[in-house]
Structure 1
Amino acid sequence: MHPDVADTLIGAFYVNVCILTTSALLMGLTFSRRGRWVAPLRAALYGLTSAALLLFTFPAGPELFIDLRLVPLALAAYRLGPGWALLAALPVTAYRVWVGGPALGGTLLHLTLVLLLASRLRHRGAAPHLPLRENARRSLLIFGPAALTVFPTFLMLGRPVTDAALPYLMVVTFSVLGFSLWTTVVATVARAFERAAPDAPTTDLLTGLPDRRAFELAAAQAGGDRYLLLLDLDHFRALNEQHGHEVGDQVLQAAAQVLERQLGRAGTVYRLGGEEFAALLRAESVQDARHLADRARRSLPAQLTARLGRSDLRVTLSGGLVTAGPDALPRAERLLYAAKQAGRHRILDSWQRAPEGAATTPLNRTSPAVSTLRTLLQFIAGNGNPGDEPDLQALLNAAIACVPGAEAGSISVRGAEWSEVRVQSGYTDDLLGTRHTSEQMLYWHGQPAAWQAGQPRVLTGEELRRRSRGAHAPDSPEQRTLEEAGRQNELQANILIPVRVQGNVYAELNLDSLSSEDAFDAESLKVAEEFGLWAAAILSASIRVRQALSSQDAALLTLGVALEARDMETQGHTRRVVDLATDLGRALNLGAGELHMLRQGAALHDLGKLLIPDRILLKAGPLTPDEWDTMKTHATLGADLAAQLTDLMPAVLDVIRSHHERWDGSGYPQGLRGDDIPLLARIFSVCDVFDALTSARPYKDAWSSEAALAEIAAQAGRQFDPQVVRAFLTLQGRELGRPA
């Protein structure tokens, strides 16, 4: 019997834990040091720890002892590699060979397998910061297979193989626990020393991610095999204002967790400040980096909603992806800004074609004018929802603020035959709606080729007065409006900027001075040209987004109509409720983005019925209680199914999931009450019920519109939101409680 066998299992385990913890504390200190001597020092510490553990074994039966000597040796292979691990193993291996015994072969085989498996699963990071769960998983993969040598060892000793089961479980369990204890202690100590170092990276206190300082240090060392992904949460300022900073902090924490989960295995995620994050990613190709970035973008809205349990929060992500390098951050910032311009909830990368208008600029990029102009335009692009009409008034105000000498102005937008004044500043609203033909605008510009190319021009003095009076007939209503509302007689100087979108002039921006013919100089013209390029980018992005949303709406409506083929009694229902919901949403002053999500939810509201058995869905008679319970699952099933479709916003899923909730809390599937029911679902439920009442079914006749409206009114405050009902009745030509 070994002379230093511990008296009891508990005593031996306690001593082993003490030895492992003490050695791990010492090992943690080495991670604050750099130099050639660090690896030999660590190997020596692993070897000494293994030898110390050999002195305190676990009694596991007659002539059978278990110790944790292989844990530090496995860690040596796991952290340093097989060469240093073999050196660390020499003392205990030599002692074990000297002692000899019938179990020597099994013991050496066990050691060999542990070192091989640990080397295979080696963690090559510079610091021991793998998550505890990952370290535990790897240790199980090391000690689980290697400890199987216990079974042939028992056979060699002439003992029943079944007796080896308990020792096997003990070896694996204690080894995994020891491995996890060691890695946790080492990581804790190493982090503490990293934070204490004056030049060490720091951790963001809110999210637990490395902060901007850590990012800058890592980015400075990033090689050509790395990609920088710069990310920003969309509409975060509005979210803070609407829900409060406490909810905003919760969103940031949840977003950090989602990004870490999606991108952490491919690199490191950082919080740079505010709602801005970054990730330094390893990827074998541009396509792989794009896939990682887009997966994070697509998964964030639904996962963040699920983590917070707040279906009313709509959080999306925009970003820029570039190859890491000295100028990576400013390149990624430009792409991030362009993604915001293009409607948000997208990732742009440096291998894509630059947005229209963003490629060239007449100004020096370091000019303060450029910085001011782009800050204003970024603010304009950052307001509103995807699909909203561009804020022309904000564009005009920004132009007047940026272009030296500008005091007033207007923007006209081209249609099929006319340019119509949409917004003005410095004049009266009587100017709005004034129309000009293409020929009149070409005459006003004076240089047809330059007008088509989007080049601005300046007019002053007699030429300005001649052209301003010559575009329209002297006694025409348009000319009288320009003289009175447009203060034509007071004009001293004018810059006209044709704004080109998708190859054609989309709008004309007029900037005026009412005080001096010398108001505009060469610098004014340069700033105006720069402004025209970026205004074109904003307008072009808005048009593309609205075109894409329109196409997506049409596709989802087609899918919703196709679903009706399974339930013939609802033919035409989808198209009708989409139209009804759109009209009601407009009456309630929803923005274009919210209307888009309402239409999508309406088109897919019965998607879950695909998963309801025909015997229930197509049953002619009343449903049994069990069948009705099954039917009610279609709302949740539909939302889960729709979540698999690309780029559907959480608000769309809310319509599908919650359109059977009731204002008084008696609905399904969640029993939500009042304002807890998402607004879009409240709007749609009124439209859905109205169409169901006014449509014939095998089990009922169609109600008249008057009877259906009376029932809708009666259910205000019980089934429906009273404000939504009031808007619906007004839309249908009635008032709540009495005929209009």
Structure 2
Amino acid sequence: MDTGFAQTLPGAAYLNFCILTTAALLIGLTVPLGTRWPAKALRAALYALTSGALFLFTFPAGPNLFVDLRLVPLAVAAYRLGPGWALLAALPVTLYRISLGGPALPGTLMHLALVLLMVTLLRHHDTAPRLPLRENLRRALLIFGLPALTIFPTFMNVGRDPLDAAWPYLMVVTLSAAGFSLWLAVARLMSGAFERSAQTGGAGTLDLLTGLPNRVAFERDHLPRRPGWADQYLLLLDLDRFKDLNDQRGHESGDGVLQALARVLSAHLPCDGSGNAGVQGRAYRLGGEEFALLFEAPDRLSAQHFADRLRRSVPVQTADLLGLPDLKVTVSGGLVEDGPGALNTADRLMFTAKTLGRNRVLDPWQAPPATSRAPLNQTSPAVSTLRALLQFIAGNDDPGAEPDLQDLLNAAIACVPGAEAGTITLRAAGESVVQVQSGYDDSLIGTRHSVLQMQQWHGNPDGWRAGRARLLRGQALRDRSRDTHDPNSDTQRTLETAGKQGQLQANLLIPVKVQGDIYAELNLDSLSDEHAFDHESLLIAEEFGLWAAAILSASSRVKQALSSQDAALLTLGIALEARDMETQGHTRRVVELSARLGEALGLNASALHTLRQGAALHDLGKLLIPDSILLKPGALTPDEWTTMKTHAALGADLAAQLSDLTPAVLDVIRSHHERWDGRGYPHGLAGEDIPLLARIFSVCDVFDALTSERPYKAAWSVQDALNEIQAQSGRQFDPQVVAAFTAQHAACPAPPTPAELPESGYAHPPHLN
């Protein structure tokens, strides 16, 4: 190259930008090396060499005045690697500059320090090299504009007019910002090229960041199945609030979390089957913060247990691997059987898990195909919401802890069609206080409303006191909202700003009654469509209000010295009666009958506690039976009876999501329709293969069913019911359990008032078994 041209401004610019582009391409070629320290050390060395080269090729900025771009690669090093690596890269050229000395040396060192400081400050907010060119240029002007002001005092220090520094200042800032943006643009192109190459198989099938197989490998893999051993499952996982983590801690921390999660997944899925309960398979990174696991497991229950254990282990193990005990990393996911359409199904379940509050794994197996449009049947989101509510109840480890109202609100928004935002208020000192919000600003929390204001907001004081839901939309809603409070009050101003009062299009208000009084109000809002809520939305909202009342009622009973879990489970069991045709009080009676019989048989306190829990939830699976079958007044067809029989296994699977329940509780739910002679369901167990607690409960369940009036039969007398129980000894029931049960009643014989037997006889009542 003509040395004369290189000493002109266009020539120097051309040469310097060639150096910058070449260095950016060279460092881009190191992308496949990953982010471990040897790769970072290599990049730091390249940054140092580039800085030195730019120091040798300067720009003419006036008579006997030259400027250089050596700070550009050092700023990029701080932006991409961190300030520590940038200082290491700056060390050679800085030592050389110190060796040259001169009156401008202090200003030069100050300039370098300020550039690195500016990059570090910006890096805390976002280190993404994939930002748009305009954003990178804006940041570059901040990085180089303020530190370059040191040129003016430097000119004064060397005895020159500070005004002479204006042109060098503009040159340094403009050329440095352009060079910085060019470097990042080249880096972005290189990273994208490597990712596209990996996605098409050009760079193999490994994810460069985590070392896991990538999406190409996922789509090509088909794990060999051993005949007769196991089924293959797909678990799709996504990191919760990963963008927030990147924004708060920087993308390097985000990359570290992805790498740690990859190690956790690999540890849980060894290919030799030495992991959890023999589960084996492979983990993949599909892209971004999304991971997939293809694995084999003996059955669905094993797959569910594996997925739940993995979910619960992620926060602890990732924090341990990164050495950050304050880091809270959770995942949401969808679990399905592998096969056609599995990825789409798992993705939908994963999205639902996130809308229900995150940190959970959902699967589709609890819900059979829908045949009814009842709000709690499978045609609505309420079945998935039920799982969230069960997990919510189970997650209250401290018996005296308050319910997690945020999860409850999130579940309500996911459950009710049209809901986009909402709040929950609780009564405190005669006022309703906003406790949680979704879709609004947190400054709304703590807003207080008087009882009269809540009644006015509802519009019907009697309806509010009765706990009836109210739907209001359009201009009438906005007028009601403004008229409820003094327009000059702080509360009204908060509602207008944080509560987006002017944007409200539709509102569902559900007063929640606990023990006869209004305990809370659930507000569900649409901010986009005044017709978002329809009649079905209102029905589901009212039903959700009953669930909320059951949960809050359980919490209230806990504070009155009942066990948190027992109270919630019993309330849940009682709530089931509202949908079945059980006589009111059936759940309470069978719980007490079972406990008394268990005591007569010598069960210890722990076993009695387990028996009570299983009795309270014994018919949980009937939530998943269509209304057309469950509420049918006549005899069931063979196909309907087959569907009805699934409720025991479905109930056990659903209850398995309550992490605090023991396997013995699930055994009561699953096996209380097994028979001593092996003709029961769901597994046809016989004799002592049937769990003892299930054998005890089945006697009490049938006795209460016989002595209660049902739509298909009159109530039997106690004596006739005892005679039938004894007749079934050794056939349907355990003889020893029957003997203990009849001995209990022998001391207090009932008056002989035989009831009329149902026409179909005991063996075939429509819903008794």
Q: How high is the TM-score relative to the length of structure 2?
A: 0.31
Q: How high is the TM-score relative to the length of structure 1?
A: 0.32
